[in-house]
Amino acid sequence: MSARIIDGKARAERLTAEVREQVAARVAAGRSAPGLAVVLVGENAASQVYVRNKRKTTDGVGMSSFAYDLPATCSQGELLALIDRLNADPAVHGVLVQLPLPKQIDADAVTERIDPRKDVDGLHPLNMGRLVLKRPLLRPCTPAGCMVLLRETGEDLVGKHAVVIGQSNIVGRPMALELLMARCTVTVCHSATRDLPAIAREADILVAAVGKPAFVQGEWVKPGAIVIDVGVNRTAAGKLCGDVDFAAAKGRAGWITPVPGGVGPMTIAMLLANTLRAAELQDA
């Protein structure tokens, strides 16, 4: 068996094209272009790459892009004051503060300061709470993108056993909630999980989000399973790789996402979709 590849890049391009068309229609109708403010604090190399890609893609779909690059010495008070200004600015429909933040800044306080209607990361407690209650508005981008890719397979997700490896607020927890809404049976694993390989081998859907290169071994994959690799890591040689041993897992899985070209492009596409959705919510 050799797994079929879930092409996240191609699916993201289609979604991005749909957003571009909707933005153009919105502007043609006399409404403002959705505006996304991306705030970068410090000079984390990976964050700089992510932010540059987000800003470029935002411009490419006809949205207004607002860039705020703050020094690593920025205080929490200064960052919160900027968020307050962005919350009050009608030209800004989405606010994204790139993580991680310098140690002097409380990331939770920053997330909670963003207006929930402008929380295009979907991480504000109000948006996470709505996801828990099965009434989502703005959904966390990466898990929402993973669900699009799962549906891209054409497989019926109802009743499948989904195993999520990782319990972060950004991916693992909201991913489990998204899978529950799709009526999967969900198991969430973490660093204290006993006999993780055995649990992984029971998964019809295996989602890896731990941030460790090739952490999930091929033998952990149930034959025919759908494998969603959220991880983006660099090897000592500088090569990008995921949390799954791709070559080994591909020989057992039914479907698998590559790294790069899988979940990553979908995350940015979902950010654009969330920004458009945020603009529509603020019009209402």
Nearest 5°: phi and psi at 69? Answer: -110, 115
CB-count exposure of residue 195 (10 Å: 0-12, 13-18, 19+): exposed
84 is catalytic: no
98 is catalytic: yes
Do residues 21 and 276 lie in contact, with contact meaning Cβ atoms separated by under 8 Å?
no
Q: Please identify which of the residues 115, 119, 121, 243 carries the catalytic annotation.
A: 121
Annotate 118-149 with DSSP letters as a single string: GBTT--SHHHHHHHHTT--SSPPHHHHHHHHH
- Residues constituting the chain: 284
DSSP 8-state class, residue 279: H
DSSP 8-state class, residue 262: S
Do residues 38 and 51 lie in contact, with contact meaning Cβ atoms separated by under 8 Å?
yes
Q: Please identify which of the residues 22, 54, 204, 243 carries the catalytic annotation.
A: 54
The residue assigned the tokens 């006399």 is: 30
- Report which of 179, 173, 242, 168 is spatially closest to residue 205, judged by C-alpha positions: 179
217 is catalytic: no
Cite the active site residues.
54, 98, 121
